[in-house]
Structure 1
Amino acid sequence: EEPGAGIGDVPLTPIMRWFLERGGPVDGFNQSRLVQVPASLRLPDLTAALGALLEHHDALRARLTDGSERRLEIRGPGAVEAGSVVRRVDAAGLDDDTLQDLVRGETVAARERLDLGAGRVVQSVWFDRGDSRPGLLLLIVHHLVVDGVSWRILVPDLAEAHRAVVAGRPVELQPVGTSLRRWAQRLTEVAGDPARTAEADWWRSVLRPADPLLGRRPLDTARDTYASARHLTLTLPVAVTERLLTRVPAVFRAEVNDVLLAAFALAWARRGGGRGAGVLLDLEGHGREEELVGGADLSRTVGWFTSLHPVRVDAGPTDLADAFAGGPAAGAVVKRVKEQLREVPEKGIGYGLVRHLNPRTAPGFAGLPTPQVAFNYLGRFTTAGVENAGSEAVPDWTVLATASGVGGTDPRVALAHPLELNARTNDGPRGPELSATWSWAGGILDEDEVRELAELWFRALEALADHAENPEAGGLTVSDVSLSLLDQSEIELLEDEWRNL
């Protein structure tokens, strides 16, 4: 891009419009990370490193304009003074409980300092534990300008900037390819393409068959806020997680998401007694589908790029007992759900374009049913527990946790779904562990209902991992065979013949 191309007004992307259309307060909507920092950290060095981050990544200098046509405005370098986004707190000598209380209080205060209109989208708090113990650094960024992939850029860049400052050399971070502004402009242009417009009917057909009401009543955005939300987090053992991430996708030529959603379809079917036509989900993706815009490179771009699209996953006519025992029925469900996901055009990126950015197609979505359940697999993250901070196993600049459980979420923000599942793999000292956090509207669902589904999902995941150990497990599906004129049964018949040769 030409110099300065990332500066100026940014058209709102589909996910930004989706968020703002929900209404309610917006300033406290954020993502956060708690990072171990060196015991030798000094406030001037940290401030200088944060300043380099603010200068390098355009989105951190954003503000949201007012008016009927709201836009994100990216201001030029120097618009945000680094000293205004960092705060030092003395945490020396505190025991774990007292430190946790301190982090909670400072997290709430940092969240309250966020202000989209004023351009305060970044805040940080350094918990200084003295010269002999590594400290903690809370980084909190408004979600409108950051996503899960962005943190893989921001934390290493901050560490690199700090090393350069301490060494007395210029901070030289890796260049950014395509700016957030240019990407948003191109999305708006692409949304009007005839090929994209033609997708609208397909997406409407996905939404039309409404699912039965989940829980006691429909979602009420005035009553069902984060303040009333309930949460449950379960962790899958390392031994099962390792197989889910490696062997199961390998034998089925599948992605991790295919496996996780196949297990979800099984759990949903068992929950409903084997009745129904699956479940309509809002499925989140990273949204960085660079091929949509020729020549785009978002590998180093900070921003909220997430895509959100509806998809129906259905275990189909299945012997649930056999599937949960890791039998052949388990494999059949993986193949079935894998193909259901492959039917989605271009991993769903087009839904947001026709639903939010194309003025000719957007009205056609008014009044259609919306998914009651959201599913998001965030990927793998190198992390450690806060309790491990300062140990030899945890190097400095390791992400320890998010602050969402200690006041990071604005309680006034409306829930988007009655039920949401956010899963991630934490690569910690014990190995990879799948962590699943279920969030739900307390006025709609009870914990017993959610816990039952959560445990069924983990049982289904274990069943898929066990099934994949069978030498005859896996195989091709229709989408694996280029220009295939074969259906699934014909592919499996050929595979049986090849095994017997």
Structure 2
Amino acid sequence: MHRLRERGGPISSFSQSVLLVTPAGADESRLATALQTILDHHDALRMRLSGDWEAHIPPPGSVDAHTLLERVTTVPDFGQLPELRPEAGALVRAVWYDAGPDRPGRLLLTVHHLAVDAVSWHILRTDLAAAWRGEELPPVGTSFRHWSLLLERQARARTSELDVWQRMFQAPDPVLGARRPDPGRDVIGTMRHLTRTLPAAVADTVLTTVPAAFHAGPEDVLLAGLALAFTRWTGHPALLLDIERHGREEVAEGVDLSRTVGWFTSVVPARLDLTGLDPDDCAQVLRSVKEQLRVVPDNGIGHGLLRHLDPATGPALAAHPAPQVGFNYLGRTASTGRTADGDWSPAPEPLPYLGGTAHDPALPVAHGLEITAVAGDEGLRATWSWAPGIWSEDDVRALADLWCDALTAMTGATSAGGHTPSDLPLVSLSQAEIDELEAEFASEWR
């Protein structure tokens, strides 16, 4: 929320949407009742944003589902988003296409991004189906409000991390493209996009086999490939970028966010430095990138806390220019195959906005270049979005090709896999010592 506030510009259309299959013969009253159940059950859906960006959550029953549900009998333009007004607590809108008593309909459910994220949608879809059947919803674990208060306390407890973030930003960060983003010129409405898809056979190795060999995660491999691509394109060995993550970290005992709806996403800066490494040695690069990403605890959630919630540390971090590149790996998309009766499954019709997320055209961009990757049946699909005043299409295409080439090369590194120091926190061993031990005890370690 703090990052969105600092960007400035309008946010009324900053939303996420899903298109769901509704039961044949559904009626408006019963749909409204199901929507009312989830509105009353999940606090974030009732949020009201004041002029000074303070969030207030009124009690259950304060938002009437009947006023936010619209019934239509002709196929609607699913690209025409309903109006949302966060300042008035209007964060949810629903358009129901009634296909008649014998055919399944469609429900376009749009929620302001302030109140929802990718994890939230799974919760909402499951709860909406249960509410339609008249079932009692499972309780929410840690509430959105309790989580917000917990983060404020966590910020004061993480001051020891400040030096790590300061060193990250104090290293050189050459300008990429023509210049750094200008909020007066570089807005969402000017962004251009291209898509690259890594074939399924290659993507499966990149996302499963390679991470398993190096005791890493898919994101580690994707970022190692990205670091290689930028190094080859710029000739500079380091890349400073923002990584978007789910933000639902286990930062305190007893926290349970598995059933909590809200926008928990964290944006974490990272510096990937390949200085002294052989760019043709994919195993060496992957080990190094993996270890660099493990420098801070809890997937780096502390940066946002120190930057936005601690007045003592915030100004120092705010003084640094923001990373020029953003990266977001969304994981594997849920299958669009329908459930046994098809009700409440994702509809096959695609939404026209990227990833189901819509933005106000006048909202300033967060980065001059952003890469959003998602795995699916067809492979790994990456959308490269750029500000045309900063990047040329030719340069973006070249980077996208270099990234695909680097990831393809990674698939040949599985035989050189192994552990790294972060895998063995109870002992102090260098990478060379680990390599020596693994070579000696290969059959036991692999």
Task: Please indicate, yes or no, whether the TM-score normalized by the shorter chain is above 0.5.
Answer: yes
Is the Cα contact below 8 Å between 1:284 and 1:308 reproduced in 2?
Answer: yes
1:35 aligns with 2:5: no
Amino acid at match of 1:492: D
1:395 aligns with 2:342: yes
TM-score (norm 2): 0.93
- Residues 453/130 of structure 1: CA separation in 2 closer, same or farther (3 Å cut): farther
Report how far residue 362 of structure 1 moved.
Answer: 1.0
- The CA distance in 2 between the partners of 1:443 and 1:399, in whole Å, is 37
Aligned to 2:242: 282
Is the Cα contact below 8 Å between 2:79 and 2:353 reproduced in 1?
Answer: no
Quick one: which of 255, 258, 263 aligns to 1:304? 263
1:154 aligns with 2:129: no
- The CA distance in 1 between the partners of 2:437 and 2:187, in whole Å, is 53
Report how far residue 66 of structure 1 moved.
Answer: 2.2
Is the Cα contact below 8 Å between 2:17 and 2:357 reproduced in 1?
Answer: no
Deviation string 1:378-437 (CA, Å, 9 cap, x unpaired) is 2222143xxx8xx899933222455524893221111111011111223xxxx3632212
Q: Matched residues, percent identical?
A: 48
Aligned to 1:129: 99
Aligned to 2:73: 90
Aligned residues: 441
1:480 aligns with 2:429: no
Is the Cα contact below 8 Å between 1:228 and 1:442 reproduced in 2?
Answer: yes
Q: How does 1:450-461 map to 2 (within 5 A)?
A: 450-461=396-407
- Residues 394/488 of structure 1: CA separation in 2 closer, same or farther (3 Å cut): farther
Amino acid at match of 1:380: R
- Residues 91/236 of structure 1: CA separation in 2 closer, same or farther (3 Å cut): farther
TM-score (norm 1): 0.83
Is the Cα contact below 8 Å between 2:326 and 2:371 reproduced in 1?
Answer: yes
Aligned to 1:9: none
Deviation string 1:103-124 (CA, Å, 9 cap, x unpaired) is 223x2xx1xx100111000111
Is the Cα contact below 8 Å between 2:151 and 2:305 reproduced in 1?
Answer: yes
SS of 2:196's partner is strand
1:251 aligns with 2:194: no
Aligned to 2:310: 358
- The CA distance in 2 between the partners of 1:499 and 1:47, in whole Å, is 61
- The CA distance in 1 between the partners of 2:142 and 2:442, in whole Å, is 48
Aligned to 1:21: 6
Aligned to 2:274: 315
- The CA distance in 2 between the partners of 1:153 and 1:366, in whole Å, is 34
Aligned to 1:7: none
Aligned to 1:78: 61
Is the Cα contact below 8 Å between 2:15 and 2:357 reproduced in 1?
Answer: no
Is the Cα contact below 8 Å between 1:263 and 1:460 reproduced in 2?
Answer: yes
- Residues 180/484 of structure 1: CA separation in 2 closer, same or farther (3 Å cut): same
Deviation string 1:335-384 (CA, Å, 9 cap, x unpaired) is 11111111123210111111110111111124312200011112222143
- The CA distance in 1 between the partners of 2:132 and 2:404, in whole Å, is 41
Is the Cα contact below 8 Å between 2:307 and 2:318 reproduced in 1?
Answer: no
Greater Cα shift, 197-206 or 412-421: 197-206
Which ranges in structure 2 are unaligned for 5 or more consecutive residues?
A: none
Report how far residue 494 of structure 1 moved.
Answer: 2.2
Is the Cα contact below 8 Å between 1:260 and 1:461 reproduced in 2?
Answer: yes
SS of 2:433's partner is helix
Is the Cα contact below 8 Å between 2:178 and 2:390 reproduced in 1?
Answer: yes
- Residues 71/276 of structure 1: CA separation in 2 closer, same or farther (3 Å cut): same
1:215 aligns with 2:200: no
Aligned to 2:287: 335
- Residues 433/85 of structure 1: CA separation in 2 closer, same or farther (3 Å cut): farther
Quick one: which of 147, 157, 180 aligns to 1:183? 147
- Residues 210/138 of structure 1: CA separation in 2 closer, same or farther (3 Å cut): farther
Aligned to 2:432: 489
SS of 2:93's partner is strand
- Residues 204/77 of structure 1: CA separation in 2 closer, same or farther (3 Å cut): same
Deviation string 1:457-498 (CA, Å, 9 cap, x unpaired) is 122222222432xxx331111111233332112211222233
Report how far residue 215 of structure 1 moved.
Answer: 1.3
Is the Cα contact below 8 Å between 2:193 and 2:383 reproduced in 1?
Answer: yes
Report how far residue 207 of structure 1 moved.
Answer: 1.1
Is the Cα contact below 8 Å between 1:262 and 1:315 reproduced in 2?
Answer: no
- Residues 129/477 of structure 1: CA separation in 2 closer, same or farther (3 Å cut): same
- Residues 200/318 of structure 1: CA separation in 2 closer, same or farther (3 Å cut): closer
Deviation string 1:41-61 (CA, Å, 9 cap, x unpaired) is 322222111111101101000
Greater Cα shift, 235-244 or 80-89: 235-244
SS of 1:376's partner is strand
Report how far residue 250 of structure 1 moved.
Answer: 1.0
Is the Cα contact below 8 Å between 1:62 and 1:121 reproduced in 2?
Answer: yes
Aligned to 1:3: none
Quick one: which of 421, 439, 444 aligns to 2:371? 421
Q: How does 1:3-18 map to 2 (within 5 A)?
A: 16-18=1-3
- The CA distance in 2 between the partners of 1:306 and 1:209, in whole Å, is 26
Amino acid at match of 2:115: V
Deviation string 1:297-342 (CA, Å, 9 cap, x unpaired) is 111000111111210113344444xx4xxxxx11111111111111
Is the Cα contact below 8 Å between 1:284 and 1:377 reproduced in 2?
Answer: yes
CA-atom RMSD, angstroms? 2.2
- The CA distance in 2 between the partners of 1:75 and 1:436, in whole Å, is 39
Aligned to 2:254: 295
- Residues 250/86 of structure 1: CA separation in 2 closer, same or farther (3 Å cut): same
1:64 aligns with 2:49: yes
- Residues 223/30 of structure 1: CA separation in 2 closer, same or farther (3 Å cut): same
Report how far residue 281 of structure 1 moved.
Answer: 0.8
Quick one: which of 249, 259, 262 aligns to 2:224? 262
- The CA distance in 1 between the partners of 2:172 and 2:126, in whole Å, is 44
Aligned to 1:368: 320
Aligned to 2:353: 404
SS of 1:355's partner is helix
- Residues 279/84 of structure 1: CA separation in 2 closer, same or farther (3 Å cut): same
- The CA distance in 2 between the partners of 1:55 and 1:500, in whole Å, is 56
- Residues 441/492 of structure 1: CA separation in 2 closer, same or farther (3 Å cut): same
